[in-house]
Amino acid sequence: MTAKSNHDVRSPVNGPGADNGTLVEPHLQALIGYFLEHPQLALGAVFAAALLEALAVIGTVVPGSSIVFVGGMLVGLQALDPAWTAVAAVSGAVAGDSISFWLGRRHRDRIRALWPMKAYPALFDRGQAYFSKNGGKSVFLARFLGPLRAIVPVIAGMSGLPAPQFYVFNVLSALVWAAAHLAPGFLFGASLQLAGAVSSRLAVLVILVAGALWLVAWVVAFLHRQARPRIGGWRDRAVAWASTRSNSPARIVMSLFDPARAESKVLLVTALLLFGSIWLFLGVLEDVLSNDPLVQVDRRVYTMLQTLRTAWGDSVMVAITELGSAPVVISVIGAVSLWLAAKRCWRTLGYWLVAAGFAQLLVWTLKFTLGRARPTEIYSGIDPFSFPSGHAAMNIVVYGFLAFLLARAKPVGTKIATTMSAAMVIALVAFSRLYLGAHWFSDVLASLSLGLAWVALLSIAYLNHVRHEKVSALPLSMVVGMTLALVGGWVVGEYHHADLAQYAYRPRSDTVPVADWRAEGWRGLASARTDLGGDAEEPFSVQWAGPAEDVGGVLKRAGWHVPPPWDAKTALLWLLPNTPIDQLAVLPKLDHGEAQGMTFMKALNADERIVLRLWPSPYVVDNVGAGPPRPLWIGMATIERLRHPAGLITLAVTEHDFTTPLRRLAQDVRAQQGSAHLRERTGRVVLLVW
């Protein structure tokens, strides 16, 4: 065991803000540490943000709410005092409205001519209309109404609202407004304290998925917003060109894009999608066949996503890929077919079946013609080929053509909602194939472009040949939704466990003789829990060679026990400030994205406990004839101290004293078995148990 495992990292880093524990990321620790040293600056920022947001006109451009939210987050992270933060937010909001009120009271109608108020006449008109309708209570209500919050107090002063009445509404609204922004920030900050125990790998995955979905929604909305005004012009220019010619291309253009046809714009869009998708597919195919740079991108994307894999991420992505699997897609095809037959939409039914059938035939033809190997042998003997992705292709064809049928001749809002819904489903399924390592990036990109080209071609043909069959969007959507819920739920429930094993990431496992491990080999294991970016967290101070049942038996005899499991009840107990420490579940922590495999705890007093977290290492220890090889576990013993910020919830903060809990653990283990020894490594103590 001379080579270090892939978990090996640098020595632990304890940045600023260390007394907050290691429950947040290093860059956030530095920010918290700065505000712990300079809380006046943070409180001043909260006060100024609340004041400026309520100030006449200026409040329309100052993001005061966001800054107050950040203040609440810092309270949740225990970097700011909750009482003083609330005072700063409330007093700033009251002061801002008061300044605006007295400006209006002093200058009356002359204020309209002052800078910067004179640049916003329409805003004054809206504010006066709102104040005329609601009277004094508009001071309270406008605090929560965007641009009006910065102008209604001015209007109240101009209108002669009595000062006592104004201040009643002003103070009440400031209290509610501050609570509405500080409380979510506080909960978010507290959740960061909890989530900081988890690797940022999961956070990066969530950000990637959320970002991809946001990008899909943005692209759909952007294309609709930007392309729609131009489509008419493109169509008119194409028709003007064709009207001066009598060749075949001109006749095709006139037949498709004649402005007299209500669907000429839709035909133009689908034609552009058709040519663009074909161009993209052929480009990807050329790169794959010639081993161009796109293949290098494939490997980088594959490696990056495999480093992001976690047990939780695997479970979610396997469920998504199951919802896009053949049984579910075939059931959706069948359900839609039955509905179309019942409605006697025979032509539409024919297009629907041709769409799915030809797409599947094309995918299999390309797979066995090109014979490209998958990144990993997931489907050996069943479907060993990778290009293109059947999941991605079938989902974009089925849900893409379905979205076309549902959105045809519907209002613009329905079209956008339908397109976005289909795009979200397709994007999630496609991403799941990349995440699980079932396909290369180019496989999925080619499948999406090929499927989109086929949907566009079918749509053009459908618009030209099927004009009298109308598809009712709501009932067909309900049929599809019920089919997805019933069949998808059954598939996930029936096959999820087996699919998790099939798609599991399988790192290598090495064997090391017990003597080598006890002598120097233990130094080759990771020295600390490591996050995605390579940042070291708590030191790994325990290495234990033995089956899980033996480890648990030794610890239970020494007074340790397995903490309560995470469920709805134990999660709610964290919201109570006086929950006994034995009843609180232990928060998971991740090393390279993986949660600990075993967890034990021992209470020291009402507010402190020792927690032992152990991860399976990539090694097994060979006893050299003295029994079967033993799995080698690696982990850490830490002291967790309960804190109750503002007496509202419970937080468990990890102490930086890692030696005391380790020596307590060593003492307990030695009392049950003698094979436990402490070793020194770079100023840290490591406990070896076998």
Same domain, 161 and 187: yes
Please, are residues 110 and 190 in contact by the beta-carbon 8 Å criterion? no
The pLDDT tens digits for 408-464 are 777 766 777 788 888 888 888 888 888 888 888 888 888 888 888 888 888 877 777
Considering the domain boundaries, does residue 14 fall inside one? no
Same domain, 515 and 497: no
Q: Is the pLDDT of residue 109 over 80?
A: no
Same domain, 469 and 590: no
Considering the domain boundaries, does residue 216 fall inside one? no
- Residue 22's closest CA among 540, 654, 672? 654
Considering the domain boundaries, does residue 661 fall inside one? yes
Same domain, 40 and 154: yes
In the prediction, which pLDDT does 241 show?
64
Residue 187, burial from CB neighbour count under 10 angstroms (0-12, 13-18, 19+): middle
Same domain, 521 and 488: no
- Dihedral of the CA atoms 648, 654, 656, 658 (nearest 10)? 150
Same domain, 364 and 278: yes
Q: Is the pLDDT of residue 600 over 90?
A: yes
Considering the domain boundaries, does residue 558 fall inside one? yes
By residue range, what is the domain housing residue 136? Answer: 21-195
In the prediction, which pLDDT does 147 show?
63
Place 383 in a pLDDT band, splitting at 50, 70 and 90.
Answer: low
- Residue 355's closest CA among 461, 249, 434, 500? 461
Same domain, 42 and 144: yes
In the prediction, which pLDDT does 612 show?
92
% pLDDT > 90, the chain? 2
Q: Is the pLDDT of residue 580 over 60?
A: yes
User: Among 482, 503, 524, where does a domain finish?
Assistant: 503
Q: Which residue matches tokens 């489903």? A: 425
User: Among 147, 177, 195, where does a domain finish?
Assistant: 195
In the prediction, which pLDDT does 269 show?
60
Considering the domain boundaries, does residue 534 fall inside one? yes
Same domain, 472 and 583: no
Same domain, 534 and 493: no
Same domain, 525 and 589: yes
Q: 3-state DSSP helix/strand/coil percent for the chain, to nearest 5? A: 65, 10, 25
Measured CA to CA, the distance from residue 157 to residue 139 in angstroms comes to: 10
DSSP alpha helices (H): ranges in 291-411?
A: 293-307, 311-323, 326-342, 346-370, 390-407
CATH number of residue 346's parent domain: 1.20.144
Q: Which residues of 623-656 are buried (b: 16+ CB within 10 A; e: fewer)?
A: eeeeeebbbbbbbbbbbbbbeebeeebbbbbbee
Please, are residues 448 and 396 in contact by the beta-carbon 8 Å criterion? yes
Same domain, 453 and 331: yes
Considering the domain boundaries, does residue 297 fall inside one? yes
How many C-beta atoms lie closer than 10 Å to residue 285's C-beta?
18
- Residue 634's closest CA among 516, 555, 551? 551
Considering the domain boundaries, does residue 205 fall inside one? no
How many domains does the chain divide into?
3
Q: What does DSSP assign to residue 144?
A: T
Place 221 in a pLDDT band, splitting at 50, 70 and 90.
Answer: low
Considering the domain boundaries, does residue 623 fall inside one? yes
Q: Which residues contact 665 (CB under 8 A, 6 or more apart)?
A: 542, 610, 612, 637, 687
User: Among 471, 503, 535, where does a domain finish?
Assistant: 503
Measured CA to CA, the distance from residue 270 to residue 187 in angstroms comes to: 47
Span 189-211, mean pLDDT? 55
- Dihedral of the CA atoms 24, 29, 35, 36 (nearest 10)? 80
Same domain, 472 and 575: no
Place 3 in a pLDDT band, splitting at 50, 70 and 90.
Answer: very low
